[in-house]
Amino acid sequence: MPDLNDKTLYINRELSWLKFNTRVLYQSKKKVKPLLERLKFMAIYSTNLDEFYMIRVAGLKQLYSARFISSGIDEMTPLEQLEEIRKYLHEEQNDLEESYREVTRALAHEGLYIQEFKDLPPELQKYAGEFFYENIFPVIIPIAIDATHPFPPLNNLSLSLAIKLRDNTDDHEIKFAMIRIPRLLPRFVHLAKGIYITIESLVREYIEDIFPGYEVISSTLFRVTRNADIVIEEEEADDFMEIMQQGLRLRRKGAFVRLEIERGCDSELLDFLNTYLKINPKDIYEYAIPLNLGALWDIVVDKEFSHLSEPQHVPKLLPPFDQNESIFKIIDREDAMILQPYESFEPVVRFIQDAAKDPKVLSIRMTLYRVGKNSPIVQALIDAANNGKQVTAMVELKARFDEENNLIWAKALEDAGAHVIYGIPGFKVHAKIAQVIRKSNDKLKIYLHLSTGNYNVATAKVYTDVSYFTSRDEFRADSITFFHILTGFSKNKKLNNLKMSPMQLKESLLEMIKRERTHKQKGRIIAKMNALVDPDVIKALYKASMEGVKIDLIVRGICCLRPGVEGISDNIRVISIVGKYLEHSRIFYFKHSDPSIYISSADWMPRNLEKRFELMTPIYEKSLATKLLDLLNLQLNDNVLAWELDSAGEYHLRTPKEGEKPINSQEFLENYVNRLYKATKKSTATNTPPKRKKIFK
């Protein structure tokens, strides 16, 4: 029996994540993509990298400072990981810069320019100057730095100009200063149709007006990244809301972990900055392109150049939700499922809105993780509470980078009279469930929505997720117990048909993997998720592979399992799909389980299986289970968006073989839903039922 603790059988999670972000960056290089779509992926890559440094790199630095020897089953030390991360990212800079230059040159041919002030024609320079004095000069913050003016605090991800000045008086003394560029100002200033300039080039043009009597010797734009992980001492928290607010304030003061700066900057300026910032030189990234490419989103959404973006798919309302009928009548009649974003998220919103208005509805309970700023769902909960219904909302205040938004919603719900739970000490609540209790024929009936994704209208347009509506008796007791666990005191409670972490979900997964092992070569597992990290699950998959079980894994991001190792994982195939939409759904197929298809809010990571409240939902309705299995098979046959992981830990983009038809799973699903929508409309007009086919054969 091979030693399954052998560190060489596991891929480091941080390096695996970096390769995922490389696959994101690759989308910006695809010449077949519209130019603004390519620009968008640069923005996503940059934003992803910001979060990676704020959380993962910051965490590794803390582990290193605390002298941890290793931090994972691959046994890489924190220092080894930091060194590999820095090397990888410094090398990848060239790809990012090359891609940016190529796309912006092509955009210029289309009449869309991202320029510097000096590149503008005289009439636009004049206009830019007027814009500066009217809109920028009043709000920028000039800061002298000397014995009487200390180095200022810098906000996380903030942009500033560092400046070296010469006094124009007789002594010609050299001074250092800064100009902070507030976030309320645009990163790229829009001057005219198709003309954007970087804000630093505009501010730089007028530095001597900001510091009169001084001559500019040199200047450089820089951007700092701070540790943004919030550590909450929950056991000491009397008021969890107040503790979270304090944590958010502290986030702005986290340790500096990265410095981004313009390439070729004055070495004295760099030394001046790092005297105060004290950042490891290997965490200093010098760029020959604009800093903070995440702000490219402002250009990507320019409606005057929408022809340079991907054609927008309009999510469709399909049966049974396409009729003006009570959503509760629909669910009474049949279980229903939505594949987002191909199908419309509107029925999910309607589910809560109808419940808020329906006089027969007594109670609404739901979990809220990331709901967005203008949430019609939360507004419906507020309306329900105002209408006298019993509303219980589990608002997860520890949802990273959504804490502040969730605090606002939690307060609004409380003010409306809803019962708000702020979290469970020691755990995050990541499960996606809404429960409506309604009086029907003098009995109480429970209607459920269970999902792989958040109750967020905005992300529902770009994240692929599964929404499931049911009133099955199998879930009645489980849903009641689940919310009682969240609102009351309970230890070691288990559910019967729904599976919940941290108490039983992992145990159930391991049992189902083990069951497939007993069928050896006839065993079959297909699992789709965002990340695969949990060592126990990986070992179980290795053992199943060694017994002959055929295993296909569709893992968008981090995958620590190493496929294709002879005698251990040669029956395991891993692919990652990166495309127009963010693959977010978790769907699991175990051939010899009953039922065989499950959806879940949980990835196969220790944090999801052991440190969060998650749910895994069995799909009993055969037509819906078939729909999900068809979806999995479609993605396994993708040869356009899919990257295959090899035993060395490298990903290779699949391409159609000679004579093979290209299969882009996301485009296929768009077309499938559009065809079904048209067929449904036609059948309604002609009063003939539409023919239904499998999604994929």
Residue type, 488: G
Q: Which of 525, 549, 554 is nearest to 634 (CA)?
A: 554
CA–CA–CA angle 467, 460, 313 (5° rounding): 110
Residue type, 126: K
Residues 6+ apart with CB under 8 A from 423: 234, 240, 394, 396, 397, 398, 429
Burial 499-524 (b: 16+ CB within 10 A, else e): bbbbbbbbebbbebbebbbeeeeebb
Beta bridge partners of 287: 262
Q: 3-class secondary structure for 241-279?
A: HHHHHHHHHHHCCCCEEEEEEECCCCHHHHHHHHHHHCC
Residues 547 and 568: their CA atoms lie apart, in Å, by 9
Residues 6+ apart with CB under 8 A from 523: 516, 517, 544, 547, 548, 549, 550, 591, 592
482 half-sphere exposure, CB direction, 13 A CA radius: 34
CB count in 10 Å sphere of residue 215: 13
How does DSSP assign 564-595, residue by residue?
T-TTTTTTEEEEEE-SSSEE--EEEEETTSSS
Q: 3-class secondary structure for 508-527?
A: HHHHHHHHHHCCHHHCEEEE
What does R_g of the chain's alpha carbons equal in angstroms? Answer: 27
CB count in 10 Å sphere of residue 359: 10
Q: Which of 573, 572, 603, 574 is nearest to 586 (CA)?
A: 603
Eight-class DSSP state of 656: P
Q: Which of 634, 521, 623 is nearest to 577 (CA)?
A: 634
SS3 of residue 361 by DSSP: strand
How does DSSP assign 37-80, residue by residue?
HHHHHHHHHHHHHHHIIIIIIHHHHHHHHTT-S--STT---HHH
If you count them, how many residues does the chain have?
A: 697
Residues 12 and 145: their CA atoms lie apart, in Å, by 43
SS3 of residue 230 by DSSP: coil
Q: What would the two tokens of residue 372 be?
A: 């967005």
Residues 98 and 504: their CA atoms lie apart, in Å, by 48
Residue type, 567: G
Cβ contact 136:202 at 8 Å: yes
Residues 348 and 469: their CA atoms lie apart, in Å, by 9
Q: Which of 194, 188, 189, 193 is nearest to 35 (CA)?
A: 194
Eight-class DSSP state of 201: H
Q: What would the two tokens of residue 78 be?
A: 């924190």
Catalytic, out of 172, 190, 430, 592? 430
SS3 of residue 562 by DSSP: coil
SS3 of residue 115 by DSSP: strand
Is 592 assigned a catalytic role?
A: no
CB count in 10 Å sphere of residue 102: 15
What are the catalytic residues? 430
